[in-house]
Structure 1
Amino acid sequence: MNSVPADVPPAQDPGAAPRRRRLGLLPRIVIAIVLGVLLGLVMPEALARVFTTFNGLFSGFLGFLIPLIIVGLVTPAIGELGRGAGKMLAATAGIAYLSTVLCGLFALGLSLLLLPRMLDGSGSVALESPEDSAIAPYFALEIPPVFDVMTALVLSFCLGIGLTLVSKGALQESFVQLRTIVVRIIEAIIIPLLPLYIFGMFVGLTMNGQIWTVIGTFLTVILLVFAMTVVVLLAQYAVAGWAMGRNPLRMLWTMLPAYATALGTSSSAATIPVTTECTKRNGIPDAIADFVVPLCATIHLAGSTLKITTFAVAIMIVTGMPLDVGVLVGFVFLLGVVMIAAPGVPGGAIMAAAGVLSSLVGFGEAAVGLMIAAYIAIDSFGTATNVTGDGAIAAVMTKLSRGRVSGDLEAQHHPHVQGV
């Protein structure tokens, strides 16, 4: 392949029409949901079975891919966190994980307290896999995964920790290349086909008479999620204000440009320059801001964990699944680890979490599909919560460093950064 200098724009035919901007993932998901509901009211069963067949094939491929996604993303992420880490990186990673888990536990507790009452009149919905649906697929194809999800998680932890104990070499580079392959598959296959998958799901829900219960549940949970994100940000900046000796509300207001940018990009990585600048305006030393913000763009996903936990509980309530508190608490702690590996594509966090939802919580294909649709519908708000919280973590790290930040930070290169 011939290389082209980055500063040379590609040649363009003067008479050619300007290139159109592609429609983003969120608008495509919204269009798919609306069309699925409307066409599901009039679509003949023979045509609906085409989409049910596609959904069965897509679900099988996604199930095959999930363990590979976990190994390909989690292993190099852990390996990179440990390589040449130093005390600052270890402390930042620990605080980011604690923040993520506390947000998940807060969401879990409030969801268990409020959602059974809020969804009491919504009735029970039996979400069926494509093979068991009343609108049967024309054919089904089994695609068994290479290994199950828990095996993938344990393997990733063992290999990732092992990579921190050896010098960087071919094995580390191989896992970095595997991560690139996995992210390309997500970007080129999974994400583009998601709207069609969600369209087929909502067609089936409409034709089975379950759609209004699902939509009512979505709207109720979205309102609860928005309220919880406000509480989380206020709590994070109460701690940040204490750490810096500043007005927490003023610090939160200073982070507003980062929040707004994340709403537009749905990517923590794309928001890093704005987040870093806002963090420095809150009095954070340059060395700490330049280190903490790019790192937390990868490992601090408090808003995403909050959303996933809340929607998971809501779907369990609506579908009549048992709410085992012990299992759900374990899910939150494991989710905090899996979130480290979320790739830099819209919806990447829910892709990384899908395996834990199915293996630990017991979600079926249809429930995972609903989780994907619900998550992406408000993806940018979770990302905005994530990046705004990064500024609070930088304030805490300033407090902990007590002026001893110099050599350790300046000697390190920034770790590999992935968006959310």
Structure 2
Amino acid sequence: MLEKLKAYRFPLILLASIIIGAIIGLIFGEDATVIKPFGDLFINLLFMIVIPLVFFSISSAIAGMDSMKRLGKIMGSMITVFVVTGVIASVVMLIATVIFQPGSGVDIPLSTPENIEEQSLGDQLVNTFTVPDFVDLFSRDNMMALIVMSILVGVATGLAGEKGRPFGRLLTSASDVFMKLIKLIMYYAPIGLGAYFASLVGEFGTALIGDYARAVIVYYPVAVLYFAIGFTLYAFLAGGKKGVSRFWKNILGPAATSLGTGSSVATIPVNLQAAERIGVPKDIRETIMPLGATIHMDGSCLSAMLKIAFIFGVFNQDFTGIDTFLTAIGICLLSGIVMSGIPGGGFTGELMIITLYGFPIEALPIITAIGVVVDPPATMVNSTGDTVSSMVVARHIEGKDWMEKADAART
């Protein structure tokens, strides 16, 4: 029990600081806003490092993929499965948020520019994915363009072969440095988040707290149902009734490990054992489990959609329409696949949510708290999703009798 609590020590500390801050806000009311600068300091520190963090993390990860060219077919199938399951998870939570509307109990005014220039769809796409000058990449307002450039730099580095290896090592080294930097900043997170929530609750009262309770009530049942029903369906598609039986016979170990450690990476060894017992071929499971632990996050897609709907409700914005929903699903995929391998407890994905939608920086701590409270079931869905995804990839690569082949190879 103590070991499990130790694994969740930092999320528990963050949760405690948020609760303490909320209590201070309730007691002192608007007087609690005097400590808001301590919260602003934390937010600014995150914004200061988000640009280099995103660039070096994404580009270094892609540059290092050249060693897996022989597994191109597996990689292609894996990415397809990751994207499809991520879209399904996002749509499931989208339906839940449309029905239950988390964040609708409080109205925080959102300041918008007086003069908004109308743009055609073509211009919007160009301005979203590119910038007119290289220096414009160094702004959180152009996050999507930065992601595109990061991907292109990573691909170019890999294609350069031997000549690109020194630059690849530089990217990896820089990524490691910024991983350490964000860890240093996170030591201040309990103070920063506590101070911010003290001022937030002091200004807007108990309605905001009620919204968090509603968000948790929405997330936990949806995550459990997605795990039980969605993964059962994936296992059936991979191997019929036999696939479902083998999945449930072997998945409780990874599920318990992910809940106990709070880490998808820590669950990799147990996931590999489970996949082996299920019958997933060695090259498939040893490709998917390590990569899936960092770039396949159905639980993160679920929570990203909840955060988007929540922040729309809190700022009294209209969360309706096909365009809004498709954009939200795209952001969920980026948060759950592209951005999930970046360290920092999901802060980068949350930064992307508020910057792409144009919310003020004050929105960041509001959705950060959601990530803290939904982390345990999200981690479980993230980890066990890798196991069932490996089964689907095995079905695609090896054919419908892939489990029989594995059984024959064992004897």
The TM-score range, normalised by the shorter chain, is: 0.7 to 0.9
Report the equivalent of 1:58: 42
Following the alignment from structure 1 to structure 2, what is the Cα–Cα distance between the partners of residues 96 and 327?
A: 22
Report the equivalent of 2:313: 317
1:178 paired with 2:195, answer no
The letter of the residue matching 1:317 is G
Q: Deviations over 1:294-323 (max 9, x none)?
A: 121121111111112112202211320232
Equivalent of 1:72 in 56, 60, 65: 56
Report the equivalent of 1:28: 13
Residues 177-196 of structure 1: matches in 2 within 5 Å? 177-189=173-185, 191-196=186-191
Report the equivalent of 1:115: 100
Report the equivalent of 2:120: none
- Structure 2-normalised TM-score? 0.80
- The answer to whether the 8 A contact 1:77-1:340 is kept is no
Report the equivalent of 1:219: 213
Normalized per residue, the structure richer in helix is: 2
Report the equivalent of 1:206: 201
Following the alignment from structure 1 to structure 2, what is the Cα–Cα distance between the partners of residues 249 and 344?
A: 34
- The answer to whether the 8 A contact 1:104-1:309 is kept is yes
Q: Deviations over 1:241-285 (max 9, x none)?
A: 232231526623521121111112221111101111122222323
Flag the 1:374–1:248 CA change in 2: closer, same or farther, 3 A. Answer: same
Report the equivalent of 1:150: 144
Residues 2-401 of structure 1: matches in 2 within 5 Å? 24-43=9-28, 48-49=33-34, 51-81=35-65, 83-85=67-69, 86-112=72-98, 114-116=99-101, 122-126=105-109, 146-148=138-140, 149-167=143-161, 168-189=164-185, 191-210=186-205, 212-233=206-227, 234-245=229-240, 246=242, 248=244, 251-323=247-319, 325=321, 326-338=323-335, 339-343=337-341, 348=345, 350-401=346-397
Flag the 1:287–1:394 CA change in 2: closer, same or farther, 3 A. Answer: same
Following the alignment from structure 1 to structure 2, what is the Cα–Cα distance between the partners of residues 316 and 47?
A: 25
Following the alignment from structure 1 to structure 2, what is the Cα–Cα distance between the partners of residues 84 and 388?
A: 23
Following the alignment from structure 2 to structure 1, what is the Cα–Cα distance between the partners of residues 29 and 192?
A: 18
Q: Deviations over 1:214-261 (max 9, x none)?
A: 221112121221222233222233122232231526623521121111
Q: Offset of 1:354 from its aligned partner?
A: 2.5
Report the equivalent of 1:412: none
Flag the 1:395–1:127 CA change in 2: closer, same or farther, 3 A. Answer: same
The letter of the residue matching 1:36 is G
Following the alignment from structure 2 to structure 1, what is the Cα–Cα distance between the partners of residues 342 and 50?
A: 16
% same residue: 21
Flag the 1:44–1:110 CA change in 2: closer, same or farther, 3 A. Answer: closer
Q: Offset of 1:82 from its aligned partner?
A: 5.2
Q: Offset of 1:185 from its aligned partner?
A: 1.1
- Structure 1-normalised TM-score? 0.78
Q: Offset of 1:197 from its aligned partner?
A: 1.6
Following the alignment from structure 2 to structure 1, what is the Cα–Cα distance between the partners of residues 262 and 25?
A: 30
Flag the 1:60–1:83 CA change in 2: closer, same or farther, 3 A. Answer: same
- The answer to whether the 8 A contact 2:108-2:316 is kept is yes
- The answer to whether the 8 A contact 2:33-2:200 is kept is no
| Structure 2 gap ranges (5+) | 1-5, 112-135, 403-411
Following the alignment from structure 1 to structure 2, what is the Cα–Cα distance between the partners of residues 195 and 384?
A: 24
Q: Offset of 1:182 from its aligned partner?
A: 1.5
The letter of the residue matching 1:124 is D
- The answer to whether the 8 A contact 2:93-2:222 is kept is yes
Q: Deviations over 1:201-222 (max 9, x none)?
A: 2211232143x22221112121
Report the equivalent of 1:415: none
- The answer to whether the 8 A contact 2:220-2:374 is kept is no
Following the alignment from structure 1 to structure 2, what is the Cα–Cα distance between the partners of residues 62 and 175?
A: 20
Report the equivalent of 2:408: none
| Structure 1 gap ranges (5+) | 1-20, 129-143, 406-420
- The answer to whether the 8 A contact 2:40-2:192 is kept is no
1:323 aligned counterpart, secondary structure: coil
- The answer to whether the 8 A contact 1:93-1:299 is kept is no
Flag the 1:300–1:37 CA change in 2: closer, same or farther, 3 A. Answer: same
